[in-house]
């Protein structure tokens, strides 16, 4: 009996910690359903009659749909391109171990060490010179580049874990290399693909700096719309920020709820496969 | 498609062909801009004035070494990295251990989703909203501070408080990441060894030292490495909160860089600074990788 009480207290403590970390996010989400006066009210209002006006205003006002569609198209295509390209490379790294594999793997990781504010200067100059500013392919391929290093690391870990016998059996039975890669190996590394996808989409979905600098009217995503749409005539437009943040964050929250296992796999480059 | 693969295969080129797309990305988006940047760092290049490029040699670098503001920004950045990563690691590991035995907790998935929610929040949104939370008049933080402790602090407007205030937000956002990494590290410890330790009644501190750390240290170090790199790069969170102010109290190196490039438009100068920060980032990473390898070699 004493043990089960202790256990319950332990679970209550863990729940309280989780909620404590969630509180600021909750405060933003609540604001999405408040009027402007309620958001700025002192003492703070935790209980109130929710209004859906902010969210409906957001959908009808500004170019919400355009920015949201941009966010979805750009994030999805960048990450998918990165994963396809990375799958080829990691298959090669894992199965053929070409000369310089270790060095190339390190170089790839170093792509992500560079501070964004440092890369953005030359990228900006290059994009201006080549006329790639404010184009979909310009921004998509740039984000794909950012997503490649971790995808290669994660996928190589997974392909290493698939026994070579599968390749050999398929080849002996007359399958081509393409057949081996797509029909034999690919289905077995699905968790790796999901993990790489989740890991990278979190970054790309929230990315601000590059889209702000090398993007433009055509390819604006929500984070940039959020940063540039802050001010109304009377100071910061809190209802707008709150409702936009809520709508924009929901897909990611649902994703880490339903694919929680893969979040862990991705964060450790596939070195951990089990449950958290 | 099949024909091409076979042709490449007969000539042993197939493995390299598979690498071509990644290499193209690497060359076009990394090597080229990098060379471009190295080149520019020797020139005077202001976008706004439209003057032709002017070769300066090492002048940009010398100017940076003489620039008092840059040294301040650098020391603020180092302090930020040490404090943020240090506290996130300590807190994350402690909470990670606490969550270790929770696999049968009711609603665990939902609890963990809430726990991890700060790190998936768009930094721009988080930064903006914390301006309201920290606001001296309308902010919830000050309301409770005053109600409970009788204090009133202008977090982001006071030179003394702005730095710890933005540090707190970073710690709130990224401690969950270190919790996640700690859980991952703990998950990689073989169950059999833990059970053996249980049978031997090893004290928990020795279990930690002799069993958990040797197995989990790689993942923990990876977490610390990723956090160090990202903390060094911190930009949009702080920029939306304070734009580096008040004064330059929260101006980290990434913000100085952004200002030089896109507020002053002195691209040559910014390139030189970018290269210096790049070298610092590489030094960080090499030290970590060296420590990791060194320990492994000794073990």
Q: Is the pLDDT of residue A248 over 80?
A: yes
- Is B219 part of a structural domain of the chain? yes
Detail the DSSP E strand segments found in chain A. Answer: 231-232, 235-236
Asked if A264 and B121 come within 8 Å (Cβ–Cβ), the reply is no
Provide the domain limits for residue B275.
67-298
Q: Which residues of B touch A200 (CB under 8 A)?
A: none
* Distance from C-alpha of A77 to C-alpha of B28, rounded to nearest angstrom: 19
Peptide bond into B246 cis (omega under 30): yes
Start-to-end Cα distance in chain A: 28
Q: Which residue from B118, B219, B254 is facing A271, i.e. has the nearest CB? A: B219
Find out whether A24 and B129 touch, Cβ atoms under 8 Å: yes
Q: Between these two residues, A30 and B50, which has the higher pLDDT value?
A: A30
Q: Of the ranges A68-82, A132-146, A220-234, B144-158, which one carries the lowest mean pLDDT score?
A: A220-234
Q: Tell me, what's the pLDDT at A276?
A: 42
**Count of structural domains within chain B:** 1
Structure confidence at residue B77 (pLDDT): 93
Residues of B in contact with A95 (CB under 8 A): 15
Tens digit of pLDDT for each residue in B93-114? Answer: 999 989 887 888 888 899 999 9
Task: Point out the residue among A21, A89, A120 whose CB comes nearest to the CB of B22.
Answer: A89
Q: In this predicted structure, what is the pLDDT of residue B274?
A: 87
Structure tokens at B154: 């202008």
Q: A176 and B2 in contact by Cβ < 8 A?
A: yes
- Whether residue B46 is contained in a domain is answered as no
Look at residue B133 and tell me if it is in a domain. Answer: yes
Q: Which residues contact B213 (CB under 8 A, 6 or more apart)?
A: none
Task: ipTM value, please give it.
Answer: 0.87
Lowest mean pLDDT among A66-70, A134-138, A150-154, A255-259: A150-154
Q: Which residues, in sequence order, are CB contacts of A58 under 8 Å at separation 6+? A: A64, A240, A243, A244, A247
Chain B residue numbers touching A88 (CB-CB < 8 A): 18-19, 21-22
Nearest to B9 by CA among A268, A6, A178: A178
Domain spans of chain A, in order of start: 63-267
Q: Classify residue B24: in a domain, yes or no.
A: no
- Tell me, yes or no, if A268 comes closer than 8 A to chain B by beta carbon: yes
- Domain A63-267 is found in CATH 3.40.50.300: no
Contact A24 B137 (CB under 8 A): no
Chain A residues with CB inside 8 Å of B115's CB?
Answer: 17-18, 21-22
Residues of A in contact with B114 (CB under 8 A): 18-19, 21-22
Contact between chains at A260 and B109 (C-beta distance less than 8 A): yes
Q: Hey, are the CB atoms on A113 and B281 less than 8 Å from each other?
A: yes
| Percent of chain B scoring above 90 in pLDDT | 23
Give the dihedral of Cα atoms B70, B221, B170, A264; nearest 10 deg.
140
Q: How many CB pairs below 8 Å do chains A and B form together?
A: 277
What's the gap in Å between the CA of A150 and the closest CA on chain B?
A: 11
Q: Is the pLDDT of residue A232 over 70?
A: no
What is the pLDDT averaged over residues B236-252? Answer: 88
User: Which residues 181-200 of chain A have a CB within 8 Å of chain B?
Assistant: none
What mean pLDDT value characterizes chain B? 85
CB contact under 8 A, B111 and A18: yes
**C-alpha span between B228 and B178 (Å, rounded):** 12
Here the CATH number for the domain that contains residue B230 is: 1.10.3720.10
Q: Classify burial at A149, counting beta carbons within 10 Å of its beta carbon; exposed 0-12, middle 13-18, buried 19 or more.
A: buried
User: Does the pLDDT of residue A47 top 90, yes or no?
Assistant: no
Confirm whether pTM is higher than 0.90. no
Distance, in Å, from the CA atom of B31 to the CA atom of B33, rounded to the nearest integer, reads 6
A36-40, B107-111, B144-148: segment of lowest average pLDDT: A36-40
Residues of A in contact with B221 (CB under 8 A): none
């Amino acid at each position: 009996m004493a043990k089960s009480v202790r256990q319950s207290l332990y679970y209550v403590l863990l729940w309280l910690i989780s909620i404590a970390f969630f509180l600021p996010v909750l405060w933003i989400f609540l604001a999405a359903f408040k009027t402007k006066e309620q958001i700025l009210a002192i003492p703070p209002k935790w209980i109130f009659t929710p209004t859906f006006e902010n969210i409906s205003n957001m959908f009808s006002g500004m170019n919400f749909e355009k920015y949201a569609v941009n966010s979805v198209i750009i994030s999805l295509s960048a990450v998918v391109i990165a994963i396809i390209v990375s799958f080829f490379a990691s298959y090669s790294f894992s199965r053929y171990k070409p000369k310089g594999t270790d060095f190339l793997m390190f170089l790839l990781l170093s792509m992500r060490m560079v501070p964004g504010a440092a890369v953005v200067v030359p990228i900006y100059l290059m994009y201006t010179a080549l006329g790639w500013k404010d184009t979909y392919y310009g921004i998509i391929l740039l984000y794909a580049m950012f997503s490649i290093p971790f995808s290669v690391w994660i996928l190589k870990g997974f392909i290493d874990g698939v026994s070579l016998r599968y390749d050999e059996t398929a080849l002996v039975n007359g399958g081509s290399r393409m057949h081996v890669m797509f029909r034999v190996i690919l289905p077995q590394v699905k968790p790796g693909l999901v993990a790489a996808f989740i890991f990278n989409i979190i970054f790309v979905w929230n990315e601000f700096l590059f889209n702000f600098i090398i993007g433009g009217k055509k390819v604006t995503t929500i984070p940039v719309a959020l940063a540039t749409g802050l001010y109304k005539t009377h100071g910061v437009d809190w209802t707008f920020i709150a409702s936009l943040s809520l709508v924009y964050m929901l897909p990611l929250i649902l994703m880490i709820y339903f694919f929680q296992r893969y979040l862990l796999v991705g964060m450790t480059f596939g070195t951990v496969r089990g449950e958290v | 498609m099949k024909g091409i693969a076979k042709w490449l295969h007969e000539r042993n080129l197939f493995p390299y062909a598979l690498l071509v797309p990644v290499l193209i990305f690497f060359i076009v988006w990394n090597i080229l801009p990098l060379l471009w940047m190295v080149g520019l760092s020797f020139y005077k290049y202001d976008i706004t004035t439209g003057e032709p490029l002017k070769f300066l040699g090492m002048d940009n670098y010398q100017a940076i070494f003489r620039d008092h503001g840059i040294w301040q920004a650098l020391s603020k950045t180092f302090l930020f990295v040490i404090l943020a990563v240090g506290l996130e690691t300590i807190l994350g590991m402690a909470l990670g251990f606490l969550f270790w035995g929770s696999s049968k907790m009711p609603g665990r998935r939902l609890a963990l989703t809430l726990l991890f929610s700060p790190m998936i929040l768009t930094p721009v949104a988080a930064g903006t909203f914390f301006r309201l939370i920290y606001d001296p008049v309308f902010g919830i933080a000050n309301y409770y501070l005053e109600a409970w402790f009788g204090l009133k602090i202008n977090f982001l407007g006071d030179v003394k408080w702005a730095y710890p205030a933005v540090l707190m937000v970073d710690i709130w956002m990224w401690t969950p990441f270190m919790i996640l990494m700690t859980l991952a590290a703990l998950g990689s410890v073989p169950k059999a060894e833990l059970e053996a330790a249980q049978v031997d009644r090893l004290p928990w501190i020795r279990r930690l030292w002799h069993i958990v750390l040797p197995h989990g240290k790689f993942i923990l170090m990876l977490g610390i490495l990723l956090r160090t790199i990202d903390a060094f790069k911190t930009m949009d969170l702080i920029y939306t909160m304070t734009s580096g102010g008040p004064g330059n109290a929260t101006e980290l190196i990434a913000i100085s860089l952004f200002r030089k490039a896109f507020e002053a438009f002195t691209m040559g100068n910014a390139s030189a600074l970018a290269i210096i920060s790049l070298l610092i980032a590489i030094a960080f990473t090499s030290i970590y990788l060296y420590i990791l390898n060194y320990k492994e070699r000794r073990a």
